[in-house]
Amino acid sequence: MVYLKIRKTVSPSPDKQGHTRGYVIPIGGAEERANSPSILEKFVSLCGGDSAHIVIIPTASVLEDTGDRYVEIFRNLGVKSAVSLTINDRADAGRQVHLDEIAKADGIFMTGGNQLRLSTILGGTDIAQKIRKMNAMGVHVAGTSAGAAIMPQHMIAGGSMGNTPSNDGVNLAPGLGLVNTLLIDQHFSQRDRIGRLLTAISYNPYMVGVGIDEDTSIFIDSDQRFEVVGSGTVTVIDPSDLSYTSMSKASGGDTLSLLDLKLHVLSVGCQFDMGQRKPYPPPE
Amino acid sequence: MVYLKIRKTVSPSPDKQGHTRGYVIPIGGAEERANSPSILEKFVSLCGGDSAHIVIIPTASVLEDTGDRYVEIFRNLGVKSAVSLTINDRADAGRQVHLDEIAKADGIFMTGGNQLRLSTILGGTDIAQKIRKMNAMGVHVAGTSAGAAIMPQHMIAGGSMGNTPSNDGVNLAPGLGLVNTLLIDQHFSQRDRIGRLLTAISYNPYMVGVGIDEDTSIFIDSDQRFEVVGSGTVTVIDPSDLSYTSMSKASGGDTLSLLDLKLHVLSVGCQFDMGQRKPYPPPE
């Protein structure tokens, strides 16, 4: 019964004023930025195109110019108003000037870097709450690499490379909570991360695991249905029918057994209904 | 109907004299040979232990000492009678002395190397036919790495690394035909081969894909049920319920979509019924 309830209320923190939730757009990293940047173009288009106000949160990155580079990328895509917020510590994260910027945003973009920087600097701050609230009110939130990892309620913070799940193969941490029925991993094929995603699912098989390749993204709409955009694939692992896992008995790096998982490999145009847990091919 | 027929007659070239087919034992490569070599020990035990006559086929390898090394490995495991056949070209493969050795075998072991050497040198020869016939009559056949790859009717000869299936991501060639409902890949986690196995399945989704890690094996019995032995995992991808594949429309290295696959990650002791396509956890 609890299980069914979780599956039916898939949208986190629903807005009570009747707003339609904005898209949540995790990107697998290394998205194309110059030649046919299909992901960023679609994000910009959703936000209103040239007239969009895009707010960039470069906190995951330790490079000083990351935010400015994205300002330029969005300007090159025709966006007249793009701004990067300098948030390098928890004090920054409480500044009213940043909250005011986010309040004006049509779209919020979180860059790559280290997702633990994002979660430790933003976690529990007014900025984090504001991002969630704005998304619930209709603002679209995209994030690439670490910026994608931070999005779910349960964030993959790190783990082992390789195909083989093992009982200590992944580190989870609380994330931003924009999505609460997916576990998201990124750079998925490129960094060989099926094993750690399988391990993460095995910890509590109520969530669907989603591995997103580089230059690939999912656009999650307010009905909790997502579409794949980009050049790679999205690997969906659904433990709905899981009949057996050895996780409860495993110790000390044991490899795991996981029987009766569902697997979907989704390329551009494919959709997935997170409530029904059902994949769809691209429309004809 | 054809599909059901294929799934019911899963055992290739059944023997008409009422023999019980020998085990077919693909090993994912790099099997432990000295400290607790569980796979080789179980193979030797099935073949009769100390009194077994093991015939080694080192044809996949271009190294001259591969056969002799396995002779020593089996002797160290207590086998009194182990012999390696020098088969380096198709003329060798026709020699009566080799056929006579195989006729006396309790177990046949094919080493690693290049599976295309095995298939091009043994394919269509009396040796290949003799191995199939002896297996049907009860002789156990094991093979590691290339020696595992050669076993199915459809052999994965090569392909791309990575998780992402693409329409040209794998090269198939005819194999030895000891198994005809499985596609087998080896060094599976270590060489990141899920993408090429998915591609191979997508070519004709009537077969189950089996990816075997290093130091890991499946022991396929005469009832077409297998058990996992070794330290890694066996990844089973079953396309029985495949609802959509983009393969028919793909070209030029396109990434593929594959919806509604079943996925099982099996560790030591897990079993899989190839006829029913059903996984089982280790016995309590």
- The residues pairing with A217 across neighbouring beta strands, listed in sequence order, are A27, A229
pLDDT at B5 over 90: no
Residue A164 structure tokens: 């083989």
pLDDT at B4: 36
Can you tell me the mean pLDDT for A180-191? 94
Note whether B211 contacts A: Cβ–Cβ < 8 A. yes
Look at residue A103 in the predicted model and tell me its pLDDT.
96
What letter does residue B215 receive in the DSSP assignment? T
**Minimal Cβ distance to B232: which of A232, A255, A264:** A255
Residues of A in contact with B164 (CB under 8 A): 189, 213, 232-233, 265
CATH of B23-272, one of 3.40.50.2000, 3.40.50.300, 1.10.3720.10, 3.40.50.880: 3.40.50.880
Classify residue A166 by its DSSP letter: B
Residue A279 contacts B, CB cutoff 8 Å = yes
Tokens of A184: 């998201």
Residue A231 has pLDDT above 50, yes or no: yes
Burial class (CB in 10 A: 0-12, 13-18, 19+), B253: exposed
Instruction: Tell which of B164, B215, B262, B277 to mutate to test the A interface (max A CBs under 10 Å).
Output: B164
Pairing label, strands A107-110, A53-57: parallel
Of the candidates A145, A166, A202, A217, the residue annotated as catalytic is: A145
| Residues A140, A141, A145, A149, Cα dihedral to 10° | -130
Q: Where are the domains of chain B?
A: 23-272
Which of the residues A214, A217, A227, A264 is marked catalytic? Answer: A214
Element (H, E) at A109: strand A107-110
Burial B11-48 (b: 16+ CB within 10 A, else e): bbeebeeeeebbbbbbbbbbbebeeebbbbebbbebbe
Specify the pLDDT at position B14: 53
Q: A residues 133-192 near B, CB within 8 Å? A: 162-165, 188-190, 192
Q: Is the pLDDT reported for residue A89 higher than 70?
A: yes
- CB within 8 Å of B120: residues ≥ 6 apart: none
Closest CA to A161 of A196, A190, A189: A196
- Local confidence band at B251 (pLDDT 50, 70, 90 cut-offs): confident
How far separated are the first and last CA of chain A, in Å rounded?
37
What is the dotted CATH code of the domain comprising A22-270?
Answer: 3.40.50.880
Q: What is the pLDDT of residue A105?
A: 97
What is the residue-averaged pLDDT of chain A? Answer: 92
CB contact under 8 A, A267 and B254: yes
Residue B88 contacts residue B60 (beta carbons within 8 Å): no
Rounded to an integer, the average pLDDT of A227-233 is 97
Q: Is A269 exposed, middle or buried (0-12, 13-18, 19+ CB in 10 A)?
A: middle
Active site residue B187: yes
Q: According to the model, what pLDDT value does residue A128 have?
A: 95
Among B213, B263, B266, B271, the strongest candidate for a mutation testing the A interface, having the largest count of A CBs within 10 A, is: B263
Mean pLDDT of the region A211-234: 97
- pLDDT of A253 reads 85
- H or E segment at A237? strand A234-238
How large is the average pLDDT for residues A181-186?
96
Query: Quick check: A94 pLDDT over 90?
Result: no
Q: For the ranges A160-169, B9-18, B174-183, B256-265, which has the lowest average pLDDT?
A: B9-18
CA distance B33 to B73: 7
B190: confidence class by pLDDT, cuts 50, 70, 90:
very high
Instruction: Determine whether A214 is an active site residue.
Output: yes
Q: What percent of chain A has pLDDT over 90?
A: 82
Q: Report the amino acid identity of residue B79.
A: V
pLDDT at B7: 38
% of residues, chain B, pLDDT over 90: 83
Residue A206 has pLDDT above 50, yes or no: yes
**pLDDT of the residue at A15:** 58
A253 at B interface, C-beta within 8 A: no
What is the predicted pLDDT for the residue at B20?
93
Q: Which of A193, A233, A241 to mutate to test the interface with B (most CBs of B within 10 A)?
A: A233
Cβ-based contacts of A279 with chain B (< 8 Å)? 243-244, 259-260
Cα(B134)–Cα(B22) distance, integer angstroms: 8
* Tens of pLDDT, residues A9-47: 445 555 567 789 999 999 999 999 988 899 999 999 999
Q: What tens digit of pLDDT does each residue of B120-161 get?
A: 999 999 999 999 999 999 999 999 999 999 999 999 999 988
> Please, is B216 exposed, middle or buried when counting C-beta atoms within 10 Å of its C-beta (0-12, 13-18, 19+)?
buried
Task: Give CA–CA dist B239/B263, Å, rounded.
Answer: 9
Q: What is the pLDDT of residue B164?
A: 86
Residue with more model confidence, A72 or A162: A72
Count CB atoms within 10 A of the CB of residue A4: 8
Q: What is the pLDDT of residues B30-62, one digit of tens each?
A: 999 988 899 999 999 999 999 999 999 999 999
pLDDT digits (tens, 9 = 90+) for B70-124: 999 999 999 999 999 999 999 999 899 999 999 999 999 999 999 999 999 999 9
Residue A56 CB: number of other CB atoms within 10 A? 26
Give the Cα-Cα-Cα angle A58, A157, B268 (nearest 5 degrees).
155
Beta-sheet strands, E only, within chain B: 24-27, 53-57, 81-84, 107-110, 140-144, 154-159, 170-174, 182-186, 208-212, 216-220, 225-230, 234-238, 244-245, 258-266, 271-273, 278-280
Interval B222-240: pLDDT, tens? 999 999 999 999 999 999 9
